[in-house]
Structure 1
Amino acid sequence: MKCGKGLSEDYDKNICPDCLERNYSFHSAYSCFYYEGAGRELIHKLKYEGILEVGKILARYMAYEAKAENLKADIIVPVPIHESKLSRRGFNQAKVIGEHLSNMMSIPMWDCLIRKRDTKEQSSLDKTGRRLNVIDAFSLNMLYNVNNMRILLIDDIYTTGSTVDECSKVLLASGAKQINVLTGAAGVNT
């Protein structure tokens, strides 16, 4: 119920192994589909092929999910990428999605998190490596005041939850009241 990831049919417990082994800082997480098939294709078209219109499609799915789950937020915050990756890719996929979602839901988007260091690609790491890779990688831009805010934290993919958990810690330490995570896709626990 915390991370929102699906469990494979052969998994015999009713709670996922990630939620059993760690206590996440965010309140809850939701994803629109599994990171496989057409869902994976959509993410790849945006993230690696640079087809920015896909951001609007993902935002539509995410807006529907937010409404279905009755998620309330004062602001939408995209997970940041490091400036070196931004200059290579040309865009932050979470921000592209967040801008469309902001318009669809009439909730302001604040690009208020900073990725302080250029971390390794999370997809190249195992679960422990992902957690260690993002420790102390984020900070809050001090021009923003998130005190007492309900935040909808946006990213494209939720795998182990390490990235959104680290972002949530920074936001909560800065006074945020509640963090709900919303992603386009999530992995499946097996």
Structure 2
Amino acid sequence: MILDLLFPNRCIHCNRIIDGNLPVCNLCFEQIHFTHFNYFENNYLKERCKLLFPIENAFALMQFEKENLSRKIIHELKYKSREKIGKTIADWTIERLDFKNEKPDVLVSVPLHPKKLKERGYNQLHLFTETLSKFYEIPFSHDLIKRNHYSKAQALKDKQHRLDTENTFSISKSISGKHVLLIDDVFTTGNTLSTIAWEILKAGDNTVSILIMAIDV
């Protein structure tokens, strides 16, 4: 209570004092550029993924434009120790994503290397994934995919380094005949998701769909 008075939660965009763990106030929320993609139909994300690997369905919640609000929100989630923003983004996703009667079998989040996980203190995708899992009643796995190499943040890499992901990921346990919904925060080149998707596809008779918080447009 005292900490709330001394350090009230503020909108990351306009600095207005707001309640709870929300990242933005109601007025600034209207400035978020949501994609309005249809998970089951062709969209910009699905078309880009098709160039990299076989994909069933794809959904991106927000546009990740330079200097826009979604970029600030995800930056707070990843680098400012605001893990609870992941639940808020999941709530926004739930309002816009309907699996109908074709739910995937398992939700799988992109892993951090153990060293990076220790540095950050949390994986920014875990609370997001767990919130979706509880609402949609779909099991999740945080350990199906293993990240084999420690590397600096994607945002700090040049394009060539982003493309160099050979042997970065591996499957940690058997999986076959499953429809996997692969979850990440931002889609840029798509190389990370492509590398993981191929590992899942090679592991057995699996199919892959993609869910991301924001797509770089």
TM-score, scaled relative to structure 1? 0.81
Residues 39 and 185 in structure 1, CA contact (< 8 A), matched pair in contact too: yes
Residue of structure 2 equivalent to 1:120: 152
Q: Return closer, same or farther for 1:171/1:129 CA change in 2, 3 Å cut-off.
A: same
What amino acid is the match of 2:74? I
Q: Which deviates more from structure 2 when the two are superposed, residues 25-34 or residues 45-54? A: 25-34
Residues 16-37 of structure 1 deviation map (CA, whole Å, 9 limit, x = unaligned) = xx569x4324334321111132
| 2:188 paired residue number | 159
Identity of counterpart residues, as a percentage? 31
Q: What's the CA shift for 1:158?
A: 0.9
Which consecutive unaligned segments of at least 5 residues does structure 2 have?
A: 1-41
**Could you list the runs of 5+ residues in structure 1 that have no partner in the other structure?**
6-14
| Matches for 1:137-156 after TM superposition, within 5 Å | 137-142=168-173, 145-156=174-185
Pick from 49, 62, 67 the counterpart of residue 80 of structure 2: 49
**Are residues 52 and 71 of structure 1, via their aligned partners in 2, closer, same or farther at CA, if it must alter by over 3 Å?**
farther
Give the 3 Å change call, closer, same or farther, for CA 68–40 of structure 1 in structure 2.
farther
- CA change 1:59–1:44 in 2 (3 A) is same
Number of equivalent positions: 173
> Residues 27, 68 of structure 1: CA spacing in aligned structure 2 closer, same or farther, 3 A cutoff?
closer
Correspondence for 1:105: 136
CA contact (8 A) 1:2 1:19 kept: no
Task: Output the CA distance in 2 between the equivalents of 1:171 and 1:91.
Answer: 24
Q: Distance in 2 between matches of 1:25 and 1:33?
A: 23
Q: Check the 8 A contact 1:4/1:28 in 2, yes or no.
A: no
Report how far residue 45 of structure 1 moved.
Answer: 1.4
Q: In structure 1, how many angstroms separate the alpha carbons of the residues matched to 2:131 and 2:103? A: 17
Structure-1 residue corresponding to 2:45? 4
- CA separation in 1, counterparts of 2:102 and 2:112? 25
Question: Equivalent residue for 2:203?
Answer: 174
SS of the aligned residue for 2:141 comes to: coil
1:3 Cα deviation from its structure 2 partner: 5.3
Q: Which residue is 2:167 aligned to?
A: 136
Q: Which moved more, 1:30-39 or 1:106-115?
A: 30-39
1:33 corresponds to which of 43, 48, 62: 62
> Matched residues in 2 for 1:123 and 1:57: separation?
23
TM-score (normalizing by structure 2): 0.71
Question: 1:163 & 1:54 partners in 2: Cα distance?
Answer: 23
What is the alpha-carbon distance in structure 1 between the residues aligned to residue 44 and residue 183 of structure 2?
14
Q: Distance in 2 between matches of 1:167 and 1:86?
A: 18
Q: Are the equivalent residues in 2 in contact too, given 1:157–1:185 (CA < 8 A)?
A: yes
Return closer, same or farther for 1:90/1:27 CA change in 2, 3 Å cut-off: same
Computing the radius of gyration over CA atoms, which structure comes out larger, 1 or 2?
2
